[in-house]
């Protein structure tokens, strides 16, 4: 049986960032990432990957600031697939409240672009928002792990099927029938909250899984087209320059879906809902909104990410409410701080067989 200091269950963007943060914090510990599919293949692969400096609460604003600094540093260091983008926030609401939610809010600007057929509801105002980018999140997760792969054992195609504890160690049963002992475990399962290995442990957190829909709009973005955030609707229109179309993200209200449900697809009602919101700002794009991407994400009752110990030495990290990419570095930092892991070289070695 193998033994590691830290097992990270889930190789999405959060698991990848936790691995990197743990390597930096505890250079001598042994670490394994266990991923049932391929790295970044879960919610991370469907993500729009938008980062904007936003936070409805002081904690999320602070996480957003921290994450922005980390992403900017990592983008240069690891040549991550991240593209900076100009951004505009549109709202009919209170400008003071907006500057609290978006601490980096810039100058007031025109809320519409008639040249492109983009309108704005009466009374809407707009501000520039510096510091935004978007990313290929699956690519980012892979690159981040590649940067530490000489220090971290990455086991793909490896489902964790059972998780138990005997006090000193956590015992993980892996899909191939192998077992792994770990002094600490980070559970970063994305929307796979109901997996039988941990459903009972996670249930008291009150997390739920919501459908997330982003439609694709067949219109070629110009190089300087901005990301437009419709704050009142919790929606945004993103130019995906590398793919040659726009992405329109809006809020779906379908709760308690399951990530492996084959019915989790783009439904006609999803397109209708997206077009209704998009039509208020860019009526010329409605007819081009015909396809998209659908998956789901984990949400918390407080709408803040959750980093918490489920039992001694087992830390849950996730439930970032549709913001798991942009807040991943801060979630990872909180997670590693919660591990209280000091390297114990003898424990890092495989256990001696009892004779
Ligand atoms: C359409 C869409 C658009 C989005 N847009 C944005 C955006 O613009 N900005 C933003 O910040 N966020 C966005 N999000 C949310 C963001 O993508 C997620 O919050 C984030 O990817 C979650 O990362 P994660 O690592 O927690 O989960 P995941 O990426 O789902 O990773 C969890 C991993 O755990 C693995 N796993 C599960 N069970 C097991 C098991 N038993 N054993 C081993 N491995 C297991 C899965 O295979 C998976 O790879 C979007 C999400 C969607 C669906």
Q: Can you tell me the mean pLDDT for 115-144? A: 90
Considering the domain architecture, whether residues 67 and 147 belong to the same structural domain is answered as: yes
Q: Is 136 in the pocket of ligand 1 (CB under 6 A)?
A: no
Looking at the predicted structure, is the pLDDT value of residue 181 above 70?
yes
Higher pLDDT, 80 or 342: 80
Q: Is 322 in the pocket of ligand 1 (CB under 6 A)?
A: yes
Looking at the predicted structure, is the pLDDT value of residue 348 above 60?
no
**pLDDT digits 0-9 by tens, 63-89:** 999 999 999 999 999 999 999 999 999
Looking at the predicted structure, is the pLDDT value of residue 1 above 70?
no
Whole-angstrom distance, CA of residue 32 vs CA of residue 20: 11
Task: Quote the ligand 1 centre to 139 CA distance (angstroms).
Answer: 13
Looking at the predicted structure, is the pLDDT value of residue 350 above 90?
no
Considering the domain architecture, whether residues 163 and 309 belong to the same structural domain is answered as: yes
Q: Is 37 in the pocket of ligand 1 (CB under 6 A)?
A: yes
Helix (H, G, I), strand (E, B) or coil at 339: helix
Q: What is the pLDDT of residue 142?
A: 98
Q: Is 305 in the pocket of ligand 1 (CB under 6 A)?
A: no
Read off the pLDDT band of 353 (50, 70, 90).
very low
Considering the domain architecture, whether residues 68 and 105 belong to the same structural domain is answered as: no
CATH number of residue 22's parent domain:
3.50.50.60
Looking at the predicted structure, is the pLDDT value of residue 345 above 50?
no
Q: What is the pLDDT of residue 96?
A: 86
* Number of structural domains in the chain: 2
Looking at the predicted structure, is the pLDDT value of residue 324 above 90?
yes
Read off the pLDDT band of 349 (50, 70, 90).
very low
Considering the domain architecture, whether residues 25 and 70 belong to the same structural domain is answered as: yes
Q: Is 320 in the pocket of ligand 1 (CB under 6 A)?
A: yes
- In order, the DSSP letters of 250-288 are E----BS--TT-TT-S--HHHHHHHHHHHTTT-GGGGGG
Strand partners, 152: 31
Task: Quote the ligand 1 centre to 111 CA distance (angstroms).
Answer: 32
Considering the domain architecture, whether residues 154 and 293 belong to the same structural domain is answered as: no
Looking at the predicted structure, is the pLDDT value of residue 116 above 90?
no
Considering the domain architecture, whether residues 212 and 126 belong to the same structural domain is answered as: yes
Last residue of a domain, one of 254, 283, 299: 299
Give the residue whose CA is nearest to atom 2 of ligand 1. Answer: 47
Q: Is 54 in the pocket of ligand 1 (CB under 6 A)?
A: no
Whole-angstrom distance, CA of residue 323 vs CA of residue 88: 18
Pocket test for ligand 1, best of 42, 54, 195, 260 (most atoms within 8 A of CB): 42
As a 3-state breakdown, the chain gives helix, strand, coil percent values, each rounded to 5, of 30, 30, 40
Mean pLDDT of the chain: 93
Share of residues in the chain with pLDDT > 90 (%):
85
Query: Among the atoms of ligand 1, which is closest to the Cα of residue 259?
Result: 30
Tell me the residue range of the domain where 349 lies. Answer: 1-84+132-206+302-355
Considering the domain architecture, whether residues 214 and 167 belong to the same structural domain is answered as: no
Considering the domain architecture, whether residues 349 and 220 belong to the same structural domain is answered as: no
Q: Can you tell me the mean pLDDT for 191-208? A: 98
Looking at the predicted structure, is the pLDDT value of residue 344 above 60?
no
Pocket test for ligand 1, best of 201, 324, 326 (most atoms within 8 A of CB): 324
Q: Can you tell me the mean pLDDT for 52-60? A: 97
């Amino acid at each position: 049986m193998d033994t590691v200091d830290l097992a990270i269950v889930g190789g999405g963007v959060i698991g990848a960032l936790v691995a990197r943060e743990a390597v930096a914090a505890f250079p001598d510990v042994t670490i394994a990432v266990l991923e049932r599919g391929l790295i970044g293949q879960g919610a991370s692969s469907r993500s729009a990957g938008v980062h904007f400096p936003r936070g409805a609460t002081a904690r999320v604003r602070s996480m957003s600031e921290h994450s922005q600094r980390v992403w900017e540093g990592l983008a240069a260091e690891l040549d991550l697939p991240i593209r900076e983008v100009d951004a505009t926030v549109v709202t009919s609401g209170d400008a003071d409240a907006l500057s609290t939610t978006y601490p980096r809010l810039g100058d007031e600007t025109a809320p519409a672009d008639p040249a492109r057929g983009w309108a704005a509801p009466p009374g809407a105002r707009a501000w520039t928002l510096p510091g935004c980018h978007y990313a290929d999140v699956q690519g980012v997760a892979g690159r981040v792990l590649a940067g530490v792969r000489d220090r971290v054992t990455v086991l793909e195609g490896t489902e964790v099927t059972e998780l138990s504890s005997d006090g000193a160690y956590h015992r993980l049963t892996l899909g191939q029938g192998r077992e792994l002992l770990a002094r600490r475990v980070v559970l970063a399962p994305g929307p796979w909250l109901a997996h039988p290995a941990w459903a009972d442990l996670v249930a008291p957190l009150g997390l739920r899984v919501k459908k997330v829909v982003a439609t694709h709009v067949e219109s070629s973005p110009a190089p300087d087209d901005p990301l437009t955030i419709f704050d009142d609707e919790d929606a945004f229109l993103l130019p995906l320059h590398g793919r040659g179309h726009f992405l329109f993200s809006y809020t779906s209200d379908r709760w308690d879906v399951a990530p492996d449900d084959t019915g989790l697809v783009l439904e006609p009602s999803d397109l209708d809902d997206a077009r209704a919101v998009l039509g208020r700002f860019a009526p010329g794009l409605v007819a081009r909104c015909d396809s998209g991407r659908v998956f789901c994400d984990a949400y918390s009752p407080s709408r803040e990410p959750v980093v918490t110990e489920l039992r001694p030495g087992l830390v849950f990290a996730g439930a970032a409410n549709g913001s798991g990419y942009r807040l991943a570095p801060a979630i990872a930092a909180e997670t590693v701080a919660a591990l209280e892991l000091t390297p114990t070289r003898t424990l890092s070695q495989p256990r001696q067989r009892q004779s």
